[in-house]
């Protein structure tokens, strides 16, 4: 089955894909409002889009996909919206666990899971445990995640190790610091995609995105299709990455 149409085949170079794609899944609320639906319907549609895009990323050979599902700031939303998102995640993970042996996608969670409802937290840990040996494609779900929070935790952890006499401040390198982040051992994202029309970073992967290419689109996340992903890949491939060089 072809993964793309003839015209797109010439546009995306599937032999030189980004290794790691990160996505801020934005615009669920506006998608719902424009259809006269409750915001929670937007999140439900967004969860389906996530499923489609994750499967497609695996099909085309993306090694890492990281998505922003719930930020440290999202607790400020109305309680019923927070609980609807938690419920969607719970449903998604229950289904994912059922199909795990078939899909063989490694799953990880970035963020402090301790404030989550017990059942959801247990499902996250179970999903990580079952999929730990899978290879080929890894999906990271950022849950109760904040970029500044992540950096602070890594700094506190390093400071504590210094205070305990296990490390000295001069030892600290970017590589060592990276090992204290939720993303330890995972390459930095090459491409960060933000649908929904806003052009900001919103506390997402602040350390890891130092040299990422950003792609913004007005399309709301529930409408973000495989074709929209191919457009983002084309834009990425048209850019020259210099990492500060010339």
Instruction: Give the x-and-dash track for 171-210 against ligand FPP (CB under 6 A).
Output: -------------------------x--------------
Closest CA to 209 of 226, 224, 193: 193
The strand order across the sheet containing 20-24 reads: 106-110, 138-145, 64-71, 20-24, 191-194, 213-216
Q: Does 85 contact ligand FPP by CB under 6 A?
A: yes
Minimal distance, residue 116 CB to ligand FPP, in Å = 13
From 41, 65, 69, 116, residue interacting with ligand FPP (rule: CB under 6 A)? 69
DSSP string, 34-91: TTT--HHHHHHHHHHHHHHHHHHHHHHT-SEEEEEEEETTGGGS-HHHHHHHHHHHHH
Active site residue 157: no
Q: In three state form, how does the secondary structure of 177-244 look?
A: HHCCCCCCCCCCCCEEEECCCCCCCCCCCCCCCCCCEEEECCCCHHHCCHHHHHHHHHHHHCCCCCCC
Q: Does 89 contact ligand FPP by CB under 6 A?
A: yes
Measured from the CB atom, the residue of 126 and 167 that comes closer to ligand FPP is 126
From 17, 20, 50, 146, residue interacting with ligand FPP (rule: CB under 6 A)? 50
| Annotated catalytic residue within 13, 15, 26, 28 | 26
Measured from the CB atom, the residue of 84 and 154 that comes closer to ligand FPP is 84
Kindly identify the residues of this chain, within the stretch 122-141, that bind ligand FPP according to CB under 6 A.
141
From 17, 88, 105, 192, residue interacting with ligand FPP (rule: CB under 6 A)? 88
How close are the terminal C-alpha atoms of the chain, in Å? 41
Minimal distance, residue 66 CB to ligand FPP, in Å = 11
Length of the chain as a residue count: 246
Q: Does 96 contact ligand FPP by CB under 6 A?
A: no
The stretch among 39-47, 108-116, 148-156, 230-238 that binds ligand FPP (CB under 6 A) is 39-47
Structure tokens at 200: 């900001």
Q: Which residues contact 177 (CB under 8 A, 6 or more apart)?
A: 154, 158, 207
Residues annotated catalytic, as ranges: 26, 74
Q: Which residues bind ligand FPP (CB under 6 A)?
A: 25-30, 43, 46-47, 50, 67, 69, 74, 85, 88-89, 92, 141, 196
């Amino acid at each position: 089955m072809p993964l793309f149409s003839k015209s797109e085949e010439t546009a995306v170079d599937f032999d030189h894909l980004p290794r790691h794609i990160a996505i801020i899944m934005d615009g669920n609320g506006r998608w719902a409002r424009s259809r006269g639906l409750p915001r929670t319907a937007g999140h439900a549609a967004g969860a389906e889009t996530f499923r489609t895009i994750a499967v497609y990323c695996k099909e085309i050979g993306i090694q890492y996909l990281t998505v922003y599902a719930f930020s440290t700031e999202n607790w400020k939303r109305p309680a019923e919206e927070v609980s609807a998102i938690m419920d969607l995640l719970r449903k998604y993970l229950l289904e994912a666990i059922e199909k795990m042996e078939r899909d063989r996608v490694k799953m990880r969670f970035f963020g402090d899971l301790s404030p989550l409802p017990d059942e959801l937290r247990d499902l996250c840990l179970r999903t990580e445990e079952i999929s730990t040996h899978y290879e080929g494609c890894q999906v990271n779900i950022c849950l109760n995640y904040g970029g500044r929070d992540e950096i602070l935790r890594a700094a506190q952890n390093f400071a504590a190790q210094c205070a305990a006499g296990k490390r000295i401040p001069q030892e600290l390198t970017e590589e060592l610091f990276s090992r204290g982040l939720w993303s330890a051992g995972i390459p930095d994202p090459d491409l960060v995609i933000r649908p929904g029309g806003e052009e900001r970073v919103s506390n997402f992967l602040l350390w890891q995105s130092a040299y990422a290419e950003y792609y913004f689109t007005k399309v709301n996340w529930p409408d973000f299709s495989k074709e929209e992903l191919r457009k983002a890949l084309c834009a990425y491939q048209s850019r020259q990455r210099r990492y500060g060089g010339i």
